[in-house]
Chain A
């Protein structure tokens, strides 16, 4: 019985393929557009998911609480006195000032992030640079880079080393210097910091501690680690959404095209159904045949589109999205995304790309197949 059933399905498939082959140009065109739509949707989905996941993993140990001072709604340098006030808040384990800022380098027309690491800072007069800075300035350890300080004088840095290329996603534009050099370059006086980072004894009390700091220092803004992590969710949700909005016109056009192709039967197809019925085919056989035709197209498009999307994002570095991500940035991290794939997302993509097309093919066939063959062929 099973062998008979398999043989019957294979014959049906043979027939479906030859039927598709009779309208080869039309079907190949549909398949190409269908595959392209799945490819773009899969690429956007895979990219956004992987980068969100990576951001969450990499930033999971970012500062628990960041305290910024605000003056007239703008971020300002925070005085060391605030440090003592924060350390005095119950529940705060430690609080330290951070020194960081941005420097526009006219030689490369790029922005760097200057930072003073509290743990193992570089010696005065030297700098550790990110791989992006090394690339745009063609700099290697031992080279000298100079910048104009706030008072117009030149400050020189000898490159002591470069940060690992593998960490470019977080460090491409970093320029790590000593505290003395940072203050000299930007004219930041002693006793002032860019912001303050605090750690909390009990992670469950972060919000309460933040509220206490906010109450003690009303001129500050507090950013929690949880909010930092959610920023990347929202940034890429937004980007994914924007891309999908931009693509929605194309997707809708494809939807109409596919619906038209799948649901509107040509006179030739009607005749074909009529002949099949006249030679003794059951209505269920005709529907099965046409469902198979629809499945051949939609399944091929899904599998090819998804695999191509995967290769595009994880093996070729998503070159189609690069201009969107880069914007006008001169300095861009050279990174390969770690392929994190969400099986549920793939299943959703499968459902929304294969299922509607297959259903759209069945309804008109059922309608045509249930009427008298003589009437259909006429």
Chain B
């Protein structure tokens, strides 16, 4: 029996990897379809409670609700103040505040 050629192994590996790439799209499609009701429920809760922001950054008031924060957040103490909350240094001034006095 002739030994397996390296190209066979490489092509089989490539086919496997392309299949895995395709599987990520299938997985994304299936999971986002399955998540539809959950997303709708989250949206309905946000609408019922009149929420304006995600509860992602809870450490300070201007990171909890970036869309509602003071005009000078994230530089809460004075403009160009050094940020001591890690989130503050990563959250950009909200779009609502840029270009407005």
Tell yes or no: B55 within 8 A of A by CB. yes
Partner of B6, one of A18, A110, A300: A18
Q: In the complex the two chains form, what is the Cα distance from A166 to B5 in whole Å?
A: 50
Determine whether the beta carbon of B32 is less than 8 Å from that of A339. Answer: yes
Determine whether the beta carbon of A307 is less than 8 Å from that of B20. Answer: yes
Rounded to whole Å, the gap between the CB of A172 and the closest CB of chain B is: 4
Q: Give the interface size bracket for A toward B.
A: 35 or more
Determine whether the beta carbon of A66 is less than 8 Å from that of B52. Answer: yes
Given contacts A60-B43, A331-B58, contact A73 B21 (CB under 8 A): no
Tell yes or no: A144 within 8 A of B by CB. no
Residues of chain A contacted by B6 (CB below 8 angstroms) = 13-14, 17-18, 21
Given contacts A68-B68, A231-B67, contact A341 B55 (CB under 8 A): no
Tell yes or no: B12 within 8 A of A by CB. no
Contact residues, A307-356 vs B (CB, 8 A) = 307, 310, 314, 324-325, 327-333, 338-341, 343
Tell yes or no: A137 within 8 A of B by CB. no
Q: Give the interface size bracket for B toward A.
A: 35 or more
Residues of chain A contacted by B81 (CB below 8 angstroms) = none
Given contacts A228-B53, A228-B96, A341-B25, contact A58 B39 (CB under 8 A): yes
Tell yes or no: A164 within 8 A of B by CB. yes
- B1-30 vs A: 1/0 string, CB under 8 Å? 000011100110110011011001101100
Determine whether the beta carbon of B50 is less than 8 Å from that of A327. Answer: no
Residues of chain A contacted by B86 (CB below 8 angstroms) = 324, 327-328
Q: In the complex the two chains form, what is the Cα distance from A115 to B68 in whole Å?
A: 15
Stretch with Cβ within 8 A of B (4 or more), from A237-245, A258-266, A268-276, A359-367: A237-245
Residues of chain B contacted by A113 (CB below 8 angstroms) = 55, 58, 64-65
Q: Which among B18, B25, B43, B61 has the highest number of chain A CB atoms within 10 Å?
A: B43
Q: In the complex the two chains form, what is the Cα distance from A97 to B48 in whole Å?
A: 14
Tell yes or no: A235 within 8 A of B by CB. yes
Partner of B50, one of A21, A63, A167, A168: A63
Tell yes or no: A75 within 8 A of B by CB. yes
Residues of chain A contacted by B51 (CB below 8 angstroms) = 59, 62, 170-171
Determine whether the beta carbon of B54 is less than 8 Å from that of A232. Answer: yes
Q: In the complex the two chains form, what is the Cα distance from A228 to B95 in whole Å?
A: 8
Q: In the complex the two chains form, what is the Cα distance from A62 to B85 in whole Å?
A: 27
Partner of A327, one of B24, B43, B63, B98: B63
Residues of chain A contacted by B24 (CB below 8 angstroms) = 306-307, 310, 339, 341
Tell yes or no: A149 within 8 A of B by CB. no
Determine whether the beta carbon of B28 is less than 8 Å from that of A98. Answer: no
Given contacts A307-B24, A328-B59, contact A170 B91 (CB under 8 A): no
Determine whether the beta carbon of A63 is less than 8 Å from that of B70. Answer: no
Rounded to whole Å, the gap between the CB of B14 and the closest CB of chain A is: 7
Determine whether the beta carbon of A234 is less than 8 Å from that of B58. Answer: no
Rounded to whole Å, the gap between the CB of B96 and the closest CB of chain A is: 4
Determine whether the beta carbon of B17 is less than 8 Å from that of A66. Answer: no
Tell yes or no: A215 within 8 A of B by CB. no
Rounded to whole Å, the gap between the CB of A344 and the closest CB of chain B is: 13
Given contacts A61-B46, A307-B20, contact A14 B7 (CB under 8 A): yes
Partner of B59, one of A60, A132, A324, A327: A327
29 pairs of residues in contact across A and B, judged by CB atoms under 8 Å: A10-B7, A11-B7, A13-B6, A59-B54, A111-B60, A113-B58, A115-B49, A117-B48, A132-B55, A173-B58, A176-B49, A227-B67, A228-B67, A230-B96, A231-B53, A307-B17, A310-B24, A327-B57, A328-B59, A329-B57, A329-B59, A332-B56, A332-B58, A333-B55, A338-B32, A338-B35, A339-B31, A339-B32, A340-B28
Which A residues lie at the B interface, using CB under 8 A? 10-11, 13-14, 17-18, 21, 54-55, 57-63, 66, 68, 73-75, 98, 102, 110-111, 113, 115, 117-119, 130, 132, 163-164, 166-174, 176, 195, 197, 221, 223-224, 227-228, 230-235, 237-239, 242, 296, 299-300, 303-304, 306-307, 310, 314, 324-325, 327-333, 338-341, 343
Given contacts A228-B53, A231-B95, A306-B24, 18 further A-B contacts (CB under 8 A): A10-B5, A58-B43, A62-B51, A74-B70, A115-B49, A117-B48, A164-B41, A167-B45, A168-B55, A170-B45, A172-B55, A174-B55, A221-B71, A303-B18, A327-B85, A329-B57, A330-B58, A341-B28
10 nearest interchain CB pairs?
A238-B92, A227-B96, A327-B87, A61-B47, A230-B95, A303-B17, A339-B28, A13-B7, A327-B86, A231-B67
